[in-house]
């Protein structure tokens, strides 16, 4: 056999040692990276939770696309036939839930999930500036139905009587009816005599005088016709 020089043997041996060392450190690096990733994903998995609840709606509405919207559209969950829902993989923190179910209206719900204590979830509803805590898992009833049309107002006599113009006319009518009865008859007689002396009745006839003249005209017309025939 051909002899190999000693320097060449030493060089090959050093190369093998270097390759083995590199492989060893590479394996250690891969193991450390996988362990770190496993820890990170394990912590994240512990932080992810599930939101659940139920809407008290008829089954036909629950099956017609009724759904829950989280954080304005970040997540979406459709209702089951019984109105229940679940949102998986929710990170701990605060979230806002909105509900869409045909023409039924539900209050917006705020969810606060504890980052320190897993499973500690608080739900609250804000109505007219008042915050009210609601039980969890959620069990929500509709607060009403959406009104897309304004109902026609029915005829109401009181609304007409409350009109300012109508009220003024009624007030004048009442005054015109009551004032003559409230006046002293002797004073009224004196005023009429004074008006007759001044000739005001002839120049400015009263409303009662005009009414009397109009009511007497039809009675006098037949007499005038009879007189005209006699003259002929």
Q: How far apart are the first and last CA of the chain?
A: 180
Tokens coding 35:
């362990």
CA 128 to chain centre: 11
**What pLDDT shows up at residue 200?**
53
SS3 125: strand
Q: How far apart are CA 193 and CA 40, in angstroms?
A: 114
Q: How far apart are CA 119 and CA 113, in angstroms?
A: 8
pTM over 0.85: no
Tokens coding 230:
């006699």
* Domain at 48-145: CATH code: 2.60.40
Q: What is the pLDDT along the chain (232 residues), one digit of tens a residue?
A: 455 566 666 777 677 787 887 888 888 888 877 665 445 444 444 568 889 999 999 888 888 889 999 999 999 999 998 999 999 989 989 999 999 988 899 999 999 998 888 888 999 998 877 889 999 999 999 988 887 777 777 777 787 778 888 888 888 888 877 777 777 777 777 877 877 777 654 445 555 555 555 555 554 445 554 454 444 4
**What pLDDT shows up at residue 220?**
47
**What pLDDT shows up at residue 67?**
93
**What pLDDT shows up at residue 107?**
92
**What pLDDT shows up at residue 229?**
47
Domain ranges of the chain: 1-47, 48-145, 159-201
Element (H, E) at 90: strand 84-90
Contact 52, 137 (CB under 8 A): yes
């Amino acid at each position: 056999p051909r002899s190999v020089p000693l320097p060449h043997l030493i060089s090959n041996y050093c190369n093998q040692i270097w390759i083995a060392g590199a492989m060893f450190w590479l394996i250690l690096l891969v193991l450390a990276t996988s362990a770190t990733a496993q820890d990170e994903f394990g912590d994240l998995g512990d932080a992810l939770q599930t939101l659940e609840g139920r809407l008290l709606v008829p089954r036909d509405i629950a099956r017609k696309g009724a759904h829950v919207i989280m954080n304005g559209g970040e997540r979406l969950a459709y209702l089951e036939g019984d109105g229940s829902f679940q949102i998986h993989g929710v990170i701990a923190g605060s979230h806002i839930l909105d509900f869409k179910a045909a023409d039924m209206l539900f209050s917006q719900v705020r969810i606060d999930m504890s980052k320190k204590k897993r499973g500690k979830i608080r739900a609250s509803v804000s109505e007219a500036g008042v915050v009210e805590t609601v039980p969890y898992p959620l069990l929500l009833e509709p607060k009403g139905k959406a009104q897309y049309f304004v109902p026609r107002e029915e005829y109401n006599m009181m609304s007409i009587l409350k009109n300012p113009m109508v009220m003024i006319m009624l007030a004048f009518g009442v005054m015109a009816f009551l004032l003559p009865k409230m006046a002293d008859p002797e004073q009224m007689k004196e005023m009429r005599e004074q008006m007759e002396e001044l000739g005001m009745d002839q120049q400015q006839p009263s409303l009662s005088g005009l009414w009397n003249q109009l009511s007497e005209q039809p009675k006098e017309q037949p007499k005038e016709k009879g007189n005209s025939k006699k003259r002929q």
